[in-house]
Amino acid sequence: MSNIKSASDKNLLFGVAYDDFIDRMNQAAKEMGHEDVFFCHDKEANLIAMIAIHDKGLGAGQSMGATRLWPYTNQEHALKDVLRLSRGMTYKAACANIPVGGAKAVIIAKPEQKSERMLRAYGRFVESLEGRFITGQDVNISTEDVRVIRQETKHVVGVSEKCGGPVPMTAMGVVLGIKAAVKFRLHKENLNGLSVAIQGVGNIGKNLCQQLHEHGVKLFVTDTIKERAEEVKDLYGAIVVNSDEIYSLNVNVFAPCALGGILNSSTIPLIKAPIIAGAANNQLEDEQIHSKLLESKGILYCPDYVINAGGLINVYNEMIDTDEEHILKQVNNIYNTLLDIFKISEEEEINTHEAAKLLAEERIMKAKNFNKALHMPSLLLS
Ligand code: NAD
């Protein structure tokens, strides 16, 4: 199942022999139901990367997922992240009705190690999968970086300015998700006068601040990079708080827009907001345990892969070259999908994480049965 697509030697990686790591990678991918996972180590370009393809989902042989660059302490952490993120992409595509499979890529590096050579080597890695994997920008990868990667492969998206690119569309989807949650939980039709605490004001968080500010929302923000928080204070009157204060604020909505795993046994007991609605992927540290913990606290959780699908919708439509009106219609639908999920959750007496999974799996099953039927001559004739 797994392959080393490009390896400049057969030595050790973080003290582990390649063969042992490949075995471990295969095993972990199999356990989580992935189709494939690929690994690349190009010593000269200082590139260590993994691409995970989870499931064809609603797609037909093509999988999409952005590329994240992160200083993982070892390959095990990177593997765990890429496997979870790619599985999340399958559910994200299914909930957004986007006909692609879920995938993801990670590059193990510090942001300051990023170079043109590294990005171009990564582009060749993507190209080696011959279009099975299509990628774009995630944490620590900019639109400019995607342009560099594109010099080596055409299988990248997110470089067109159609509808402003993936960032404004992701933030817009989050605003719509917040609106749906506010309607469902607080019975309010608009956001004016409400308060939102945003963790992380990078690409998405900053754009979200702008859009929420336009809706008359009072903002509380934190970021490990102080200047970013100060900038949104100046631009949108946000109140800057310390990183550990963000959880316990008396606000209407908590919006995680930094990294994953932040909803866990230490943070959930601190949260006072009745709604969690943010862009970060993999917010629940443990999906089973922590979705239940949120439910027991009566917190309405907007499943991350549903609320943050605006970027995927945008880049998919860039790929198939549809018009802006169609993109906006699909992003607007995030509002209805979340209301459907809240309703399923109530009716089935399951939490919103389980309800979203149910919706996604039903759609994937339907698409698979439909594809199967298309390939059965007897059914085609009848
Ligand atoms: P980014 O790197 O531009 O921004 C993340 C910000 O969070 C940075 O400013 C960083 O300093 C800050 N941060 C990191 N750890 C923090 C902590 N513990 N406390 C406070 N701040 C912290 O990334 P982004 O593109 O804005 O993406 C944010 C999240 O949204 C990620 O989880 C990403 O996977 C997800 N997402 C992004 C997109 C997209 O189109 N960019 C689409 C869907 C989902």
pLDDT above 90: residue 2: no
Q: Please compute the mean of the pLDDT values over residues 215-233 and round it to a whole number.
A: 98
Mutate to test the pocket of ligand 1, among 81, 104, 139, 210 (most ligand atoms within 8 A of CB): 139
Active site residue 104: yes
Residues paired with residue 13 on neighbouring β-strands, in sequence order: 16
The CB density around residue 364, as the number of other CB atoms within 10 Å, is 20
CA atoms within 13 A on the CB side of 24: 14
> What pLDDT band is residue 184 in, cutting at 50, 70 and 90?
very high
**Cα 29-33-34 angle, rounded to 5 deg:** 55
What is the number of the ligand 1 atom nearest to the C-alpha of 260? 32
What is the number of the ligand 1 atom nearest to the C-alpha of 282? 32
What is the number of the ligand 1 atom nearest to the C-alpha of 258? 7
Q: What is the pLDDT of residue 146?
A: 93
Q: Closest Cα partner for 256 from 298, 220, 295?
A: 220
Q: What is the pLDDT of residue 265?
A: 98
Q: Please compute the mean of the pLDDT values over residues 32-60 and round it to a whole number.
A: 88
- The residue written with tokens 């979870």 in the block is 84
Mutate to test the pocket of ligand 1, among 146, 223, 264, 302 (most ligand atoms within 8 A of CB): 223
pTM of the model: 0.89
Q: Where in the chain is the domain with CATH 3.40.50.720?
A: 166-362
**CB-based contact 103:64 (threshold 8 Å):** yes
Pairing of strands 47-55, 101-108: antiparallel
**Ligand 1 center from residue 280 Cα (angstroms):** 6
Between 143 and 155, residue with greater pLDDT: 155
Mutate to test the pocket of ligand 1, among 156, 257, 266, 317 (most ligand atoms within 8 A of CB): 257
**Ligand 1 center from residue 289 Cα (angstroms):** 24
Q: Which residues does ligand 1 sit against, CB inside 6 Å?
A: 138-140, 166-167, 170, 199-205, 222-225, 228, 243, 257-259, 279-281, 308, 311
Q: What is the pLDDT of residue 376?
A: 52
Chosen CATH of 166-362 out of 3.30.200.20, 3.20.20.100, 3.40.50.720, 3.40.47.10:
3.40.50.720
Q: What is the pLDDT of residue 3?
A: 47
Considering 56, 104, 114, 206, which one is annotated as catalytic?
Answer: 104
Chosen CATH of 4-159 out of 2.40.50.140, 1.10.10.60, 3.40.50.10860, 3.50.50.60:
3.40.50.10860
User: Using one digit for the tens of pLDDT, what is the confidence trace for 347-371?
Assistant: 999 999 999 999 999 998 887 776 6
What is the number of the ligand 1 atom nearest to the C-alpha of 169? 40
> How far from chain centre, in Å, is Cα 266?
23
What is the number of the ligand 1 atom nearest to the C-alpha of 136? 40
Residue with CA closest to ligand 1 atom 14: 258
User: Using one digit for the tens of pLDDT, what is the confidence trace for 297-331?
Assistant: 999 999 999 999 999 999 999 888 888 899 999 99
The residues, any chain, with a CB within 8 Å of residue 64's CB and separated by 6 or more, are 89, 93, 98, 100, 101, 102, 103, 133, 134, 135, 136, 157, 312, 315, 316
Q: Where in the chain is the domain with CATH 3.40.50.10860?
A: 4-159
Q: What is the pLDDT of residue 379?
A: 40
Q: What is the pLDDT of residue 351?
A: 98
- Taking only Cα atoms into account, the Rg of the chain, rounded to an integer number of angstroms, comes to 20
**Ligand 1 center from residue 218 Cα (angstroms):** 21
